[in-house]
Amino acid sequence: MLSLPKNFETFNEARQKSFMALYQAKERGKKIIGTFCSYTPVEIIHAAGAIPVGLCGKSEQGIAEAEAILPKTICPLIKASYGMAITDQCPYFYFSDGILAETTCDGKKKMYELMGKIKPVHVMNLPQSKDQALAIDAWTEEVKRAAKFLEDLLHVSITPEKLHDAIVYRNRLRRAIVDLYEVAKIKPSPVSGYELSTVAESADFHFTDDDLIAKIEKTTRDFKARTRNDGANRPRVLITGCPNAGVRDKIIKRLEELGADYVCADTCSGPRVQKFMIDENADPYRAIAERYLKINCSVMTPNEARFDDIKDLVKEYQVDGVIEIVLHGCHTFAVEAYTTMNIIQNELSMPYMRLDTDFSQSDGGQIETRLGAFIEMMIAA
Amino acid sequence: MLFAGIDIGSTAAKAVLMSEDKREIVARNLMPSGWNSRETAERLLSWLMSLGYSRDDIRIIATGYGRVSVPYADSTLTEITCHGKGAAFLGGDDLTVIDIGGQDTKVIIIKNSRVIDFVMNDKCSAGTGKFLEVMANRMGLTLPEFFALAEHGKDIKISSMCTVFAESEIVSLMGLGTPREDIACGAVGSVVSKVATLVSKKASSGKYYLTGGFCESPLLIRKLSETLGSEVFTTPDARFAGAIGAALLGK
């Protein structure tokens, strides 16, 4: 039976509102599947008649509660995600019918075992390398196995037609999101990167029946029509590394307030991932698997293509400097940061700065000094 | 038009006045930052005015973590850019600047007198002036007394990097009767080793150049040179590097 969390009365108005909106969507018969990674093939969720929702924690909330169970040293994104889940504070997790998870990093895959005690969780086995023997075959089978999980969970049948429609729809949506991101290719960018990325990521939380793609396309046109007078001398920054939604206010907002423009993200929500389309004319499961295996995340080894992508993005978006965000406890991006640094500084002769941080506000002052110094460095370069 | 730089750090506030051609330091002043940055900034302004110029004759650039508390500044810049510029003025166009500050330590890579890279210590106070200040306090000494004592000490290992834990470690060492000079010497060694780790994170440029309040601490300079395997240069004016750089960057 549909019900609200026991602690609902203690939530602030905004949180109560989003709980109520989801409650009503569920009452209308919507199904929700939670996801935590850009490797999760959302097409099968669509084809199963459900809405995929990204459940990654984006703030300090829930971290203290999660640390009672998870080690303190694990990355803040995992702690926040799990903490929001166990405290019933996240309406999307609370109302999700199940979770489609993946074995991306060690912290996440072990956390999912605990999360599985609260919700139906299916964990897809992601290959650790695109080049490994049978990687694409194994991953295709994993996509099929995940589809089976959804069929059983939601009592639906994922027909080839539904899957094809989902692929076509998600390709169109991705194209629209890439077009939106590419507004920032205009120099100077007519829109702040903070605003642009917030709008782009809100596409992950769409529960109404209006046309999401049309909405995004309209936003893109509106953004392009804007003009800005202050942008000419602002250095343009590419942000790479770990998912940055949890530090968006602390780093991205501050960066722009201090005088730079955030024009491009080489992260799992940015254009580097959105640009890969699915072949609409091939075998759907295989085509889905191929598309997702193209994603360049530091969990893959080797992960050379990520650096080719960064070099392309730096050119396409006419970037003046690169900031790498490494969340505490994220070993894979922390190690790769050494390679990023060498490529940006030595090959591209461009300012590069690495920020190691978490979702707390305690290092706001230090980060501000670093951001300010980095902007001065880009201007002097 | 003359140029003044005001550098309000966590521990010390520095001000310099530079000549019109920015080639020489006309006057310099150093005072504790105190608990009220704004008041300290006002005192530095009074000092500047007491030199016989009018406010309109001087461009004032503020830096340091207290730069926001200098309401009369014509502009502000971060301490990284200013320390880099000031160190290049004092030490040459290509430098690996090591600035040990009151609450943070930074390594700034300078090529052609421009900052091309930098790294700062993380949020903890290990490897900063604060570490030695806390240790000196714990031993009932002023920092000059602490350094004088450390000169005669043997190098013992303080294993805790964390200032709070190191303080307890020192209490135990005192309890065991370890000579105070050895403890002081060990504490300096701890800062040096943490600073050297920070230096190793970046490809160095030219010679090592120390700025900040320890520019007149021969023991620390000697130990740092030994650990880095290369001479660390400095000068008594290096504590003014941030203020000098700020003045130089005034337009």
**List of chain A residues whose C-beta atoms are within 8 Å of the C-beta of residue B115:** 373, 376-377, 380
User: What pairs with residue B183 in β-bridges?
Assistant: none
* Cβ atoms A352, A381 nearer than 8 A: no
Structure tokens at B153: 């000490």
**List of chain B residues whose C-beta atoms are within 8 Å of the C-beta of residue A372:** 77-78, 80
Residue A328, CA distances (Å) to A128, A213, A356 in order: 22, 35, 6
Name A45's Cβ contacts closer than 8 Å, sequence gap at least 6. A33, A35, A51, A52, A100, A150
Give the pLDDT mean for B153-181.
89
- How close does chain B come to A15, measured CA to CA in Å? 32
Measured in whole angstroms, the distance separating CA A277 from the mean position of its chain's CA atoms is 17
Give the pLDDT mean for B45-50.
95
Is B56 domain-assigned?
yes
Name A345's Cβ contacts closer than 8 Å, sequence gap at least 6. A351, A352, B116, B117
Is B67 domain-assigned?
yes
Residue with tokens 């005015």: B49
Is B37 domain-assigned?
yes
| Domain boundaries for CATH 3.40.50.11900 within chain A | 163-380
Complex confidence, ipTM: 0.89
Is B9 domain-assigned?
yes
A124/A349 Cα distance (integer angstroms) = 40
B21-41, pLDDT tens digit by residue? 999 999 999 999 998 999 999
Confidence of residue B123 (pLDDT cuts 50, 70, 90): low
- How close does chain B come to A346, measured CA to CA in Å? 11
Between A131 and B17, the more confident residue is: B17
Q: Indicate the pairing of strand A98-102 with strand A31-35.
A: parallel
Q: Which of A376, A378, A379 to mutate to test the interface with B (most CBs of B within 10 A)?
A: A376
pLDDT of residue A370: 95
Q: Please identify every stretch of chain A with a pLDDT value under 70, giving residue numbers as ranges.
A: 231
- How close does chain B come to A222, measured CA to CA in Å? 36
Number of domains in chain B: 1
Count of Cβ atoms closer than 10 Å to residue A30 Cβ: 17
Structure tokens at A353: 């700065």
B144/B184 Cα distance (integer angstroms) = 11
For the domain that residue B9 is a member of, what is the CATH number? 3.30.420.40
Residue A63, CA distances (Å) to A226, A252, A364, A365 in order: 39, 21, 18, 21
Structure tokens at A251: 């780093």
Per-residue pLDDT at B205 exceeds 80: yes
**Mean of the per-residue pLDDT values of chain B:** 93
Q: Do B115 and A377 touch (CB under 8 A)?
A: yes
* Cβ atoms A93, A62 nearer than 8 A: no
Residue with tokens 């007394």: B145
The CATH T-level fold of domain A8-158 is Rossmann fold (3.40.50)
Q: Show the domain range for B8.
A: 2-82+242-248
A366/A369 Cα distance (integer angstroms) = 5
Q: What single string gives the DSSP state of each residue in A222-288? A: HHHH---SS-TTPPEEEEEES--GGGIIIIIIHHHHTT-EEEEEESTTSHHHHTPPP-TTS-HHHHH
| Domain boundaries for CATH 3.40.50.11890 within chain A | 8-158
Beta strands, E only, chain A: 31-35, 50-54, 98-102, 121-124, 236-241, 261-266, 321-327, 352-357
| A163-380: in CATH 3.40.47.10 | no
Q: In chain B, what percentage of residues exceed pLDDT 70? A: 100
Residue with tokens 């069929």: A151
